[in-house]
Amino acid sequence: MQIRMLGRSGLAVSELCLGTMTFGNTTNVQDSTRMIHQFREQGGNFLDTANVYVSGRSEEIVGQAIKDYRSEVVLATKVRMTTSDHPNGAGISRKHIMQSVEESLRRLQTDYIDLYQVHVWDHLTPIEETLRALDDLVTSGKVRYIGCSNFLAWQLMKSLACSDANRYVRFISIQPQYSLVSREMDREVMSLCLEENVGVIPWAPLGGGFLTGRYTREEPASGRLTSKAGESSWALRGTERNFAILDAVRAAAKELDKSPAQIALAWLLQKKGVTSPIFGASTLEQFADNMGAIGWTMPAEVWNQLDEVSALPSEYPNRFIDKFARPI
């Protein structure tokens, strides 16, 4: 497992991050714990959870599993979503952040969080309030670094500018949805991250399971993608464009004797700007398959084919800017 630096920081993380959203739900405690231990044994040190995953149960499982080697792990969790039904039970106000971090620390059985992430932008709370609260948590030692997730480019840049102007800690990473079938962040967010050296740790790198190759052009009778709502719904995934991308993934998998999931993850691992794709697994078999994405390099011609078939259409203003780019 290769080690990479996360954004503009000295934090060293493994090239894959183990996501734990299914832990305590579709993945039982025993298998969840085994995945964490096997991930560590194979060189992984980066774990991602959130305070709302399975109503906090994911954090509890992670905390119990790593308590004997806590210092070796880079532990990431999140704050923002609704945790109680009172008016201050959601968002990124100082009140909600300070309450949520204590609850997460208790569930995780630790006295610090390595990477504390804002789960999504909060239109009701001034970003200055949020960043001051997060800065206080870093100063207190309860949090080591901060990151964000699901931000628009202007929201990320406003946050970075606010931190710089007030000498608060900066977001060192962003966790966006990003995969061969979801490349919207290429419009503006990725170039911003490269410019400001913000680490990118994508969620849903397999398109919610679509890029595993288990689905056909006929709507599946069962499986996660039958959901009628959410980013990984069949309505969003089961498009002809996405199936053209999946066809290319299958062809690459056959050529390189890899699984479709390994191809999709390997493409991200070699994508400029991406630090650690966050993969999840419901079963130990899925976990083993995903781990097969490391330890080899995809040939440039195959990578380029996947990049071309999945690229967004040429759009303004990038199209206009590229036209007048000065040669170096």
* Token pair of 266 as six digits: 């390997």
The DSSP symbol for 326 reads P
The catalytic position among 53, 145, 168, 178 is 53
Residue 212: partners with Cβ closer than 8 Å, 6 or more residues away: 206, 259, 260, 261, 264
* Token pair of 65 as six digits: 């599993």
HEC string of 34-48? HHHHHHHHCCCCEEE
* Token pair of 143 as six digits: 């949090």
Residues 173 and 200: beta-carbon distance below 8 Å: yes
Q: How far apart are CA 264 and CA 285, in angstroms?
A: 17
69 in catalytic set: no
- Between the CA atoms of 299, 301, 303 and 308, what dihedral angle is there, to the nearest 10 degrees? 180
Q: What distance lies between CA 74 and its chain's CA centroid?
A: 14
Residues 135 and 113: beta-carbon distance below 8 Å: no
Please return the burial class of 196, using the count of CB atoms within 10 Å of its CB with bins 0-12, 13-18 and 19+.
middle
Nearest to 265 by CA among 207, 312, 315, 308: 207
Strands 74-79 and 113-118: parallel
Strands 12-14 and 3-5: antiparallel
Q: How far apart are CA 290 and CA 294, in angstroms?
A: 8
Strands 17-19 and 12-14: unpaired
Residues 23 and 54: beta-carbon distance below 8 Å: yes
> Which residues are known catalytic residues?
53
